[in-house]
Amino acid sequence: MVNTKVNLCGIELDNPVIPASGTFGFGYEFSELYDINILGTFSFKGTTRDPRFGNPTPRIAECPNGMINAVGLQNPGVEKVLSEELPKMKKVFHKPVMANVSGFSVEDYVYTVERLEEEDQIGWYEVNISCPNVHGGGMAFGTSPEAAATVTKAVREVTKKPLIIKLSPNVTDIVSIAKACESEGADGISLINTLLGMRIDLKTKKPVIANKMGGFSGAAIFPVAVRMVYQVSHAVNIPVVGMGGVSSASDVIEMMLAGATAVEVGAYNLIEPYGCKKIIEELPAVMEKYGIKSLEGLKID
């Protein structure tokens, strides 16, 4: 009998599988397909202080082994998330949930977290300082240790809940940024967000999305994600949540061998709505295949 439980920043999960923010909404749509309480948890749709329509369309395009998107953090804003989205979510998901928070200034991040503090079901904050698809804010905070540390310190001061900082791969030195977040009180690091990518339609001679460039995700980025999770997990003393191209139980194990405590599944949810369910169901057999009795302490040297 294998043990799939893991502990993420002091909260026990039945398994390490977490649908990534932006690919699972607020959960209730997926609850019509299967019981989402089988998940470890999930990271709900990126929430900002004010409502956002997002970027102009087209803003999602498929490409080999992945996709490019520039949705631009479309969301109803924190007030409607509190009054409308989370009450609906509570009816179908009965575990602690991860709140993904984005902003365009330090004050935005602080305000949104302060408003969400009243929500008991929120177990962790995943503070996104790594979105490549918005102008101003977003990724700008995640591209230097100093800026990342500033956001981390400010949010740390307004919550006692576990604080996980989501980092961008679009940097030269991911380790220094992760260590700066740790030094200012981060309880965990999640990575990677999407790589910055672009495709051009040969027929129209125009970029495939209106934003020209967007976040590239999917199976093609998995090796990059494994590398960065390995680097960061061996440089910090806080948990790492790994993500980027995960699409199977074997990928989950590989990500955990690299040093991840838990693993988020992103683009695969958009390809296969039952993706996380399948991964969770397959995980015990994959563990047995490779002689793994427990997921705790898998990290290689």
SS (H, E, C) 11-60: EEECCCEEECCCCCCCCHHHHCCCCHHHCCCCECCCECCCCECCCCCCCE
66-69 β-sheet, strand order: 60-63, 66-69, 214-217, 195-197
Q: Could you tell me if 181 and 165 are in contact, meaning their C-beta atoms sit under 8 angstroms apart? A: yes
How many Cβ atoms are within 10 Å of 27's Cβ, its own excluded?
24
- Which spans in 127-248 are helix H? 145-156, 174-183, 222-233
Which of 9, 63, 131, 276 is catalytic? The answer is 131
Phi and psi (nearest 5°) for 37?
Answer: -75, -5
Q: Is residue 77 within 8 Å of residue 86, measured between CB atoms?
A: no
Find, among 100, 26, 46, 40, the residue nearest to 246 by Cα: 40
Q: Which two tokens stand for residue 249?
A: 């139980």
Backbone angles phi, psi at 299, to 5 degrees: -50, 130
Is 63 marked active-site? no
Q: Which residues are catalytic?
A: 131
